[in-house]
Structure 1
Amino acid sequence: MQFIDGIGQFAPKTERDRSEWAKLSAFVAQEPKAFDRDPKTSHVTGSAFVLSADRNSVLLTHHAKLDRWLQLGGHCDGIADARFVAQKEAYEESGLSRISLVSPDVFDVDIHHIPETPKECAHLHYDVRFLFQAEAGALAVSEESHALAWVPLDALEHYTDARSVLVVRDKIRQG
């Protein structure tokens, strides 16, 4: 198990895991604004893979700005607690009234490029992902989404071909 303050513990299992964790660790150690949403720097984000009660499906949002199916999540906005941010975003974006952590440890790390926009320069999101399970509540689409869907893990590729989303299925299958 490896630990980063503000991120938590992670047990890298693959070369991809080890590489992403090493990059995240170096970034957090050298960037004083790692958890801020400064448009001039890259930053840490927190994401939630929310599983259904039977753990056979994952909740995806059809992101309004990106027009893609993704897991729930968002910017830390100065909060140096990626797990808290992931859970907060899961509540805000899903409408669920109760979700629980499957494990307090980091489930996955994905570092991805965000292209330049009129308001922000190109930067990286150091996305820290946690695994949750839905326990109660009805889905309610937020203004950040076009739709929400419980997607069977075995049908994820019908919604997205993004490796960063398909990883949830693969990691769950590996145990």
Structure 2
Amino acid sequence: MSAVADGSSLQVSCLNVLTRWQPPGPEQAELRRDYLAHLEARPAGWSRECAGAHLTASSLICSLDVSQVLLTLHARLGRWLQTGGHLESTDRSLEDAALREAREESGLHNLQLDPRPLLLSRHEVPCGLVRPTFHLDVQFLVVADPALTPSVSAESTDVRWFSREELPPIDDSVAQLIQAASTRLAA
């Protein structure tokens, strides 16, 4: 079985990305320590088959000046969110998983992913057989041209570009992600 097929190279990728990442503050540094401990204790801590918690990869898609943000209305949760989802054993890296999910959920293909995570977000989700189950989300920044027309995926009921001044109702985690993208792109 190849390293990609058994997921070991994906495990290594996740560990490497998180080890190299410089968290923007103490809360994010603690989440990083928790994610690394999770991965070090579980050989497939990235997999949705990992009971209780597993990594996910998401991406905030925005314009270069962050004046436009692409969000998807998640079909099951009924909330406007960034694109993202589970890692697959066929993903070569954590970054590839984030980009795959961004393409699948937006219908856009001309995307530029910053390989450095923006933020980490640990949140309880209604998936898996064990309750509670947590997504250990690694959130990336993706830049795209807002003139591109997105398309709705099977996982959402809507996907569209929003002006930062006219965002739909979003939760704090999405607002924090938009602010982090703005800070990074202004640097």
TM-score (norm 1): 0.85
- Asked whether the 8 Å contact 2:60–2:178 carries over to 1, the reply is no
2: distance between equivalents of 1:153 and 1:43?
Answer: 31
The structural deviation recorded for 1:49 is: 0.6
Distance in 2, matches of 1:41 and 1:80, equals 24
1:83 matches 2:83: no
Q: Number of paired residues? A: 167
CA contact (8 A) 2:55 2:138 kept: yes
Amino acid at match of 1:170: Q
Of 6, 21, 44, 2:13 maps to: 6
Q: Give the drift of 1:25.
A: 1.1
Deviations 1:102-131 (CA, angstroms, capped at 9, x unpaired): x3211111111113x6x6322111100110
Q: CA deviation at 1:31?
A: 1.3
Partner of 1:56 in structure 2?
A: 67
Q: Which whole-Å CA distance do the structure 2 matches of 1:10 and 1:154 have between them?
A: 30
Q: Which residue of 1 aligns with 2:111?
A: 99
CA distance in 2, matches of 1:173, 1:130: 13
Other structure's SS at 1:171 match? helix
What letter corresponds to residue 121 of structure 1 in structure 2?
V
Question: Unaligned regions of 5+ residues in structure 1, if any?
Answer: none
Report how far residue 97 of structure 1 moved: 2.3
Structure 1 residue 53: deviation in Å? 4.8
**Aligned match for 1:40, one of 36, 51, 57:** 51
C-alpha displacement of 1:13: 1.6
Higher helix proportion: 2
Question: Are 1:20 and 2:27 an aligned pair?
Answer: no
Give the TM-score, by structure 2 length.
Answer: 0.80
Q: Tell me, yes or no, if structure 1 residue 146 matches structure 2 residue 153.
A: no
In structure 1, the partner of 2:122 is: 111
Residues 54 and 136 in structure 2, CA contact (< 8 A), matched pair in contact too: yes
Give the 3 Å change call, closer, same or farther, for CA 28–57 of structure 1 in structure 2: same
Higher mean alpha-carbon deviation, 62-71 vs 143-152, is at 143-152
The sequence identity of aligned pairs, in percent, is 30
| Match of residue 173 from structure 2 | 164
Any stretches of 5+ residues in structure 2 without a counterpart? 1-10
Q: 1:28 to 1:92 in 2, by over 3 A?
A: same
More strand by share: 1
